Structure 1
Amino acid sequence: MDIFEALFTRRSIRKYTQEDVSDEDLNIMLKAAMLAPSASNRQPWHFVAVRDSKVRAALAERHPYAKMAADAPLVIVVCADLNEEKTPGFWVQDCAAATQNLMLAARARNIGSVWCGLHPVEERVQPVREILHLPGNVMPLSLVVLGHPAQPFAEADRFRADRIHNDCW
């Protein structure tokens, strides 16, 4: 699959088969995530790969938009070690880029994904901290639910010429 097919057909997939995501696929997705750009090349990211059904169920129960995590084979929580920051606040952009790379790599492997936001909503961050036993210096940004899709990938066209401004607004 070329990059444009992955970009144009990546959708939020919320229904999955029971097939496990292989260790090979997991490692490729994480390798892609870690190739994301980061401020001052600090690479502050850490990834919690959750396969345990009880932990996935706890995450699904506590996050208002991640109910599908209970039935998916894999959840990855993208976090930042705030002690790694050289330019404060840029960890959000760094981890967002890593999350997008992860999801594009998933699509390239025919694995469905959906991004469930955590930061900056404290009511979402705190339960994830508790469930995953995150240290105080580690901030979760996103919860990505992954699995082999039980719904089709489809191309979408969201191009909007009215959102493009040349040279100035």
Structure 2
Amino acid sequence: METKDAIIGRRSVRRYTDQSLNDSDVQDIITAGLYAPSAIDLQPWYFVVIKSTEKLEEFRTFMSDVYDEFEPVLNERFANHPATIAETKVFLNSLGGAQCCILAFMLKQDYPDKKSVIEGVSAAVQNMLLAAYDMGIGSCWMTAPMRAGMDEELRRKYAAEHGEFIAAVTFGYPAYTPKAPQRKEGRYVII
């Protein structure tokens, strides 16, 4: 697959089949994240891979609580799109049946240049999304715990000795292929 095809073709998948992911594919996804660029080669990421049935169920319960806190944001943002709110509720409560979820954190709690560390961790997440897509594995980057104000609780629960929560990403074999949203105008200038 060409890199451009992966960038343009990858979608946020919110419904997965029950086909399990094999450990070598999960390892390849993590490795892609580990090879992301980072400012002054800090490699500032720390990943928690949730793959066991028991831990996925525990995380689903946590995300159900996240939805309860996040619902007002969704109601405001999608007031004219109740189907989107309903779909998000189902997804956050079930993780869409994902077979794996990777939580991305900052490696440490104290960095003098926090913005560049967030960029590095975000680049690692993007690498994982593209690697998964290349393997036929769907994904969805979630920031709802931050928007719901539950990111610190998530960090204490899964990575207490590490830094801030950046994102959670679900992975699994897609049960459907979402349509790409229309690209919005006015997002760049060439000077």
Superposition TM-score tier, normalisation by shorter sequence: 0.7 to 0.9
Give the gaps of 5 or more residues in structure 1: none
Give the gaps of 5 or more residues in structure 2: 68-87
1:151 to partner: Cα distance: 0.7
Q: How does 1:82-121 map to 2 (within 5 A)?
A: 82=108, 85=111, 87-117=113-143, 120-121=146-147
Q: Which moved more, 1:53-62 or 1:88-97?
A: 53-62
Identify, as 1 or 2, the structure richer in helix: 2
Q: How does 1:64-79 map to 2 (within 5 A)?
A: 64=67, 66-69=92-95, 71-79=97-105
User: In structure 2, what is the Cα distance between the partners aligned to 1:82 and 1:115?
Assistant: 22
CA contact (8 A) 1:29 1:102 kept: yes
User: In structure 1, what is the Cα distance between the partners aligned to 2:95 and 2:39?
Assistant: 31
User: In structure 2, what is the Cα distance between the partners aligned to 1:77 and 1:91?
Assistant: 16
Q: Which moved more, 1:34-43 or 1:135-144?
A: 135-144
TM-aligned CA distance change 1:119 to 1:38, over 3 Å: farther
1:125 to partner: Cα distance: 1.0
Partner in structure 2 of residue 140 of structure 1: 165
Give the paired residue count: 165
SS at match of 2:115: coil
SS at match of 2:18: coil
Q: RMSD across aligned C-alpha pairs, in angstroms?
A: 2.4
In the alignment, does 2:184 pair up with 1:165? no
Percent identity between matched residues is 24
User: In structure 1, what is the Cα distance between the partners aligned to 2:188 and 2:98?
Assistant: 38
TM superposition score normalised by structure 1: 0.84
